[in-house]
Amino acid sequence: MLNERELIDKLRKNHTLSRDEWIRLIRNRDDDSAQYLFAAAREIRHAVYGDMVYIRGLIEISSYCKNDCYYCGIRRSNRCAQRYRLSREEILGCVDTGYDLGFRTFVLQGGEDPFYTDNVLCSIIQNIKDNYPDCAVTLSLGERSKESYRCLFEAGADRYLLRHETASERHYAVLHPPELQLSNRKECLYTLKRIGYQTGSGFMVGSPGQTAENLAEDMLFLKELNPQMVGIGPFIPHKDTPFGNQPAGTVELTLFMLGLLRLMLPNALLPATTALGTLDPEGREKGILAGANVVMPNLSPAAVRKKYLLYNNKLCTGDEAAESIQRLKERFASIGCRIVTDRGDFRQLI
């Protein structure tokens, strides 16, 4: 039987492992295997993307959501959540600010808010593209119909982020109410890819009830989907949700999963997420050192940032804020990486 280092070598060479091998590697991980993994992940990231870290300006357009995911602070049943939605002018204002700061990708993220019809969104996307043809627009607005995804793509959206959250049916039902189905989530992801979006999926690490078997399922599903982007971050409880008293996921396991993802999908765009930075002041640097190559500073108007509260203590005004881009550049330079002013499209090199 292969030991952990040998499993990592095998993953690096074949970009895949069997279900049992994933489980064994995740369960038996220790500091030695983690350091070995991160060194390999950095080498591969360097081979594909050099020293470049891409920045995406995150604009949180709405804290209204029609869904009721048990983990999420903006779920519809949270009566304490502060709700807001940004107007077209406010969103375009964020893009203007971001462009001046050097951003060339804008991520429009929000709860599933029926206010943002296809017409409303298409006109916002077209406006961004007319004003800044050199920029990419990424959407992260949850599950929509095939027709809607197509219409937004035709309006100019380039990328779509939709985490599958967990690839196990049973675990999906622990995290979501019955009206939300993993099969629909997966169908949306395949549709997005077919339409031509650069597609991102991902999962929370350490969400309630998650096992090493579930994480193995996540890796097998991601291998099959073969997305261009994968967003993972630790689960962090929000006090006004059913999971308010559950323990948070760990930085340690999140970093290990990031390293594994870099070896499995060498070309993928992997963000070091805000959730990682929330649990550890150096979480984003650690994410980059484990194989990530994207950061998504917050470009939302300062007045609403505290209202998009997915989990307790979410960072929103420190170095993760877009205004602190210079400070972020210095922090990444200290670990040998360079933040670039670039759309940062997916590259298929390996």
Binding site for ligand SAM (CB under 6 A): 71-72, 109, 111-112, 140-142, 162-163, 165, 204, 233, 235-236, 238, 275, 310-311
| Angle subtended at Cα 311 by Cα 306 and Cα 316, rounded to the nearest 5 degrees | 35
- Which lies closer to ligand SAM via its Cβ, residue 109 or residue 191? 109
For residue 26, what are the contacts with CB-CB under 8 A and spacing of at least 6?
A: 212, 215, 216, 256, 257, 260
Beta strands in the chain, from DSSP E residues, in sequence order? 52-55, 57-62, 105-110, 136-140, 159-161, 198-205, 229-234, 294-295, 338-340
Nearer to ligand SAM, 40 or 72 (CB): 72
Q: Least distance (Å) from ligand SAM to the CB of residue 284?
A: 15
Which one, 66 or 338, has the nearer CB to ligand SAM?
A: 66
CB of 286 to ligand SAM, least distance (A): 17
Complex with ligand SAM: residue 162 or 295, whichever CB lies closer: 162
Tell me how far, at minimum, the Cβ of 74 lies from ligand SAM, in Å.
6
Of residues 42 and 75, the one with the C-beta less far from ligand SAM: 75
CB of 293 to ligand SAM, least distance (A): 20
Report the distance separating Cα 313 and Cα 324, nearest Å.
19
State the DSSP string of 121-144.
HHHHHHHHHHH-TT-EEEEE----
Nearest distance from residue 5's CB to ligand SAM, in Å?
31
Angle, CA 205 vertex, CA 79 and CA 222 arms, to 5°: 115
Considering only CA atoms, which of 23, 66, 72 is closest in space to residue 175? 72
Nearer to ligand SAM, 71 or 106 (CB): 71
Least Å distance between CB 306 and ligand SAM?
15
- Integer Rg of the chain from CA: 19
